[in-house]
Amino acid sequence: MAVTSVDHVGLDTYKFGFHDDIKPVYTSPKGLSEAVVREISRQKDEPAWMLDFRLESLRQFERKPMPTWGADLSRIDFDDIHYYIRPQDRQARSWDDVPDDIKSTFDKLGIPQAERKFLAGVGAQYDSEVVYHSIREDLEKQGVVFLDMDSGLREHEDLVRQHFGTIIPNGDNKFAALNSAVWSGGSFVYVPAGVSVDIPLQAYFRINTQNMGQFERTLIIVEPGAYVHYVEGCTAPVYASDALHSAVVEIIVKEGARCRYTTIQNWSSDVFNLVTKRAVAYRDATMEWVDGNLGSKVTMKYPAVYLMEPGAHGEVLSIAFAGSGQHQDAGAKMVHAAPDTSSLITSKSISRNGGRTAYRGYVQVLPEAERCRANVECDALLIDDRSRSDTYPYMDIEESNVTIQHEATVSKVSDQQVYYLMSRGLTEEQAMALVISGFIEPIVKELPMEYAVEMNRLIELQMEGSIG
């Protein structure tokens, strides 16, 4: 295992992803073609097998039909997207180009100036580089690898080659195929056997423009008995100039290991956010997806866990918040492929101001996967009469000796609740926000502290000025 070679990654190399100043500035022309894919791979100086993988993925993408279920994707114009922009070129955007509503949200959230520019895609430099540096030194001592995916491929080619695309094959779905063809950035995490990483690994620390790319690719390998919590995203709105975000995340959790992957997504309201996330969990392993979807125009995201061996446990905790013009189609997929496996899906959605949420879940129990337990709970909260929530719970149970529970509720914030809280001095907006934060509490309490605080603050902001 090439773990030790982490030492060779200099920070300078890391910071810009490319340090060869002689290379011409490169932004791919709009639209997708074999030439574009070849150029991306050439720019990154990738091994031939990765180029082949990309080209094969492009063919898959061209063959695959658009999903006809879920949200309306007809407005995506694949010809009107830059599939690759070198990180340093992204900085070219100026602060003046950032929309006012995003700037004012930064104000309200109290985001430091340096961070704002990063979040708005204006600057690449960020103070947390220093934080990341010291964290990485600690991690390296334990043999933990935490790199952006491009560096991961360079520094740990064997490990990447062995696992890349094995959990989510490039032909899995149209958007996974697209990501496989044009991916850039994302994270590569490797945790050696028995190592418990005691701080959450935050993509946020390892900040540069790459990990906020539109086509991130993340691979996490957790060896037997190890533990890691990976956190991506942030509650502040992320301003993207291109309107498609299509990431792929693959996770392997080996015997007795545990992995938690937390996402807080708050893309600006013009983004199509179509993400494929899947983990495999082996004997007595635990995989937990904690997923918060606040922003974007359309989100389609169904984190999956394949429970491969007895004792494996999978969880998905998700929150979706849809406001005006937003459609959050989110859910989970659990595949019980072995006896004595268990899964838990808890989904909470909030729709307001004409927003639309859907829970779309799939629980599958394969033949002879005896004594499995699956529990699904999805609760929807509607803030007004114009908003909408749907539930699509699919079950495919091919074994009789199992325990399956499913519970779905749809509720509204009751006038009685709001009146009660107002009678104690809270404004109507505060009262609404408090009822909502109570509704998602079971999930928010699983978030790292600073995210939980921001999440509640954000919901207050969303409610501000929303009551006439």
Give residues in contact with another protein (CB under 8 A). Answer: 414-417, 419-428, 430-431, 434-435, 437-442
Contact between 349 and 319 under an 8 Å Cβ cutoff? The reply is yes
Contact between 310 and 341 under an 8 Å Cβ cutoff? The reply is yes
Min. distance of Cβ 383 from another protein in angstroms? 15
Q: Which is nearer to another protein, 370 or 460 (CB)?
A: 460
Min. distance of Cβ 381 from another protein in angstroms? 10
Min. distance of Cβ 448 from another protein in angstroms? 18
Min. distance of Cβ 79 from another protein in angstroms? 46
Q: Which is nearer to another protein, 152 or 292 (CB)?
A: 292
Min. distance of Cβ 349 from another protein in angstroms? 15
Q: Which is nearer to another protein, 162 or 427 (CB)?
A: 427
Cα dihedral 238→36→28→157 (10° resolution)? 60
Angle in degrees, 0-180, between the axes of helices 449-463 and 100-109, rounded to the nearest 10: 130
As a three-state string, the secondary structure of 128-142 is HHHHHHHHHHHHHHC
Q: Which is nearer to another protein, 394 or 420 (CB)?
A: 420
Contact between 232 and 238 under an 8 Å Cβ cutoff? The reply is no
Among 224, 215, 218, which Cα is nearest to 202's? 218
Residues ≥6 apart with Cβ < 8 Å to 10:
none
Q: What amino acid occupies position 362?
A: Y
Tell me whether residue 366 is exposed, middle or buried, using C-beta atoms within 10 angstroms of its C-beta: 0 to 12, 13 to 18, 19 or more.
middle
Q: Which is nearer to another protein, 4 or 416 (CB)?
A: 416
Distance CA(111)–CA(21), nearest Å, equals 32
Q: Which is nearer to another protein, 41 or 347 (CB)?
A: 347
Q: Which is nearer to another protein, 91 or 417 (CB)?
A: 417
Contact between 191 and 225 under an 8 Å Cβ cutoff? The reply is no
Min. distance of Cβ 420 from another protein in angstroms? 4
Min. distance of Cβ 197 from another protein in angstroms? 30
Distance CA(303)–CA(70), nearest Å, equals 15
Min. distance of Cβ 276 from another protein in angstroms? 31
Q: Which is nearer to another protein, 395 or 453 (CB)?
A: 453
Name beta bridge partners: 292: 264, 319
CA 259 to chain centre: 14
Min. distance of Cβ 376 from another protein in angstroms? 19
Residues ≥6 apart with Cβ < 8 Å to 417:
431, 435
Token look-up 């959050």 returns 328
Q: Extract the tokens encoding 139.
A: 């991690």
Q: Which is nearer to another protein, 60 or 347 (CB)?
A: 347
